């Protein structure tokens, strides 16, 4: 059985709280056999893929697109009903009665159903009573069609997910029209028409990032944390959330900074930049996206460096992590990417990787973005260029997802 890599795209509500993830995968796995021709005594391919899905989800809900021909597959039967929603497309030439019968059985088992690519004149009206969600294409559906669909779904008590929402202006327009759930990267795009004023906490972090890049000592950073109690509390929450202390709880900023060490300081300042000081800062989709980019890039860089890791190799991997996170710093800062690079006084290696995809780290950044954009051809191409396997990518993804979910 060949390993499957996964792309995931958050589905969020109006407050940009993550409801779940749309999961992209390379098709359903085939049954695995050993050389004798008998079924292999291993975890079934379907169970293997579901386990990988759950690693990507944490406690979130998974939205999985399933071909109508695969509704009776072992894979669908292996999905835990409390955590998954299956998305089915238009019926086309399929018998509506057979599809409805199968969907009824899946609903009885507890699986929720989403009708994907839904339109105003849709031939799946008989399935609406079984559906919990419908999904519309925000780019291909007119405002008048959206209004009609919203009115109808309110009567049916079915929630609407707008997909391909990639601009803040799109999001605002859809909210105004009554849509409550959104799939896309609108929260990760800088809107030049929308001025953003940094909070005092984030201004302090930006200043510290610049000073650390210039060689500031830990004691200087500690002084800044002492002057800003909110930042100190946020740092302690994140460090303890990942159980870096293991045997004891970290109770002071000094303990946290000693635990992090000088080499990890930029990493944690970046994490704080995205998380902010709110209780739910580490749960926002932008934080999850930036952290996932950084961690996945770090792990893939370690794969490329091989098993014999010294201080120099760890520094290379650390820079890959920073490049992943900093590639989205302009969204937090509310400026263009070039202005963010200048504002943070980034070193040349980080600058060219982010702006020009230069070097190995720049190529890995392009790989993470290809996963986010569901460009699997580009993913395969970059993997081949670096002699990385699907299995290595899958392992790195699983570790990155677990790390981010623990933050």
DSSP secondary structure of 57-87: HTTSEEEEE--GGGTTSHHHHHS-TTTEEEE
Helix 45-57 to helix 390-406 angle, to the nearest 10 degrees?
40
Q: Which residues pair with 24 in a beta bridge?
A: 7
- For the record, the structure tokens of 176 come out as 């105004």
At residue 31, the pLDDT reads 42
CA 122 to chain centre: 31
Q: Any idea how long the chain is?
A: 407
CA distance 45 to 279: 39
Residue from 215, 327, 368, 208 nearest 272 by CA: 208
Residue 199's H or E segment, with its range, is none
User: Residue 149: which residues within 8 A CB-CB, separation 6 or more?
Assistant: 118, 120, 134, 136, 141, 160
CA distance 13 to 345: 35
CATH code of the region 200-406: 1.10.3210.10
CA distance 116 to 379: 25
Residue keyed to tokens 């391909």: 164
At residue 219, the pLDDT reads 78
Q: What is the DSSP letter of 283?
A: G
At residue 37, the pLDDT reads 45
Q: Report how far apart, in Å, the C-alpha atoms of 102 and of each of 77, 121, 218, 362 are.
A: 12, 23, 61, 46
Residues of the chain with CATH 3.20.20.450: 6-188
CA distance 189 to 330: 9
Ranges of the chain with pLDDT below 50:
1, 28-42, 245
Tell me which of 3.20.20.450, 3.40.50.20, 3.90.78.10, 3.40.190.10 is the CATH number of domain 6-188.
Answer: 3.20.20.450
46, 27 Cβ separation under 8 angstroms = no
Residues of the chain with CATH 1.10.3210.10: 200-406
15: exposed, middle or buried (Cβ count in 10 Å: 0-12, 13-18, 19+): exposed
CA distance 364 to 349: 14
At residue 310, the pLDDT reads 84
Residue keyed to tokens 């989800």: 57
Name the pTM for this structure.
0.84
Residue keyed to tokens 């409801």: 19
- For the record, the structure tokens of 150 come out as 């919203």
7, 378 Cβ separation under 8 angstroms = no
In a 3-state reduction of DSSP, which class is residue 150? Answer: helix
Q: Which residues pair with 87 in a beta bridge?
A: 65, 114
At residue 212, the pLDDT reads 78
């Amino acid at each position: 059985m060949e390993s499957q890599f996964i792309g995931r795209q958050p589905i969020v509500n109006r407050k940009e709280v993550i409801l779940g993830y749309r999961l992209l995968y390379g098709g359903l796995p085939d049954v695995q056999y050993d050389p004798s021709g008998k079924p292999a005594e291993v975890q079934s391919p379907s169970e293997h893929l579901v386990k990988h899905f759950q690693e990507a989800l944490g406690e979130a809900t998974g939205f999985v697109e399933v071909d109508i021909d695969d509704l009776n597959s072992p894979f669908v039967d292996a999905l835990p009903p409390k955590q998954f929603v299956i998305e089915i497309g238009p019926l086309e030439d399929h018998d509506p009665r057979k599809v409805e019968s199968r969907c009824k059985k899946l609903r009885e088992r507890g699986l929720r159903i989403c009708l994907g690519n839904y339109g105003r004149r849709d031939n799946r009206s008989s399935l609406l009573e079984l559906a919990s969600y419908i999904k519309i294409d925000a780019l291909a559906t007119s405002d008048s069609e959206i209004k009609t669909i919203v009115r109808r779904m309110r009567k049916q008590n079915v929630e609407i997910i707008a997909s391909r929402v990639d601009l803040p202006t799109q999001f605002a327009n859809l909210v105004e029209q009554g849509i409550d759930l959104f799939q896309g990267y609108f929260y990760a795009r800088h809107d030049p028409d929308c001025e953003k004023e940094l909070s005092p906490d984030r201004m302090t972090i930006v200043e510290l990032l610049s000073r650390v890049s210039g060689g500031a000592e830990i004691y200087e950073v500690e002084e800044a944390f002492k002057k800003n109690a909110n930042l100190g509390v946020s740092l302690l929450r994140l460090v303890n959330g990942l159980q870096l202390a293991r045997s004891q709880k970290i109770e002071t900023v000094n303990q946290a900074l000693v635990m992090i060490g000088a080499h990890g300081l930029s990493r944690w300042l970046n994490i704080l930049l995205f998380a902010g000081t709110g209780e739910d800062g580490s749960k926002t989709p932008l934080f999850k996206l930036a952290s996932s980019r950084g961690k996945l890039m770090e792990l893939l860089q370690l794969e490329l460096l091989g098993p014999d890791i010294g201080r120099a190799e760890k520094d290379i991997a650390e820079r890959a992590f920073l490049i992943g996170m900093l590639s989205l710093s302009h969204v937090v800062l509310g400026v263009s990417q070039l202005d963010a690079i200048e504002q943070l006084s980034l070193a040349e290696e980080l600058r060219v990787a982010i702006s020009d995809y230069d070097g190995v780290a720049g190529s890995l950044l392009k790989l993470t973005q290809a996963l986010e954009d569901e460009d699997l051809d580009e993913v395969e191409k970059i993997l081949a260029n670096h002699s990385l396997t699907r299995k290595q990518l899958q392992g790195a993804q699983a570790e990155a997802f677990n790390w981010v979910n623990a933050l």
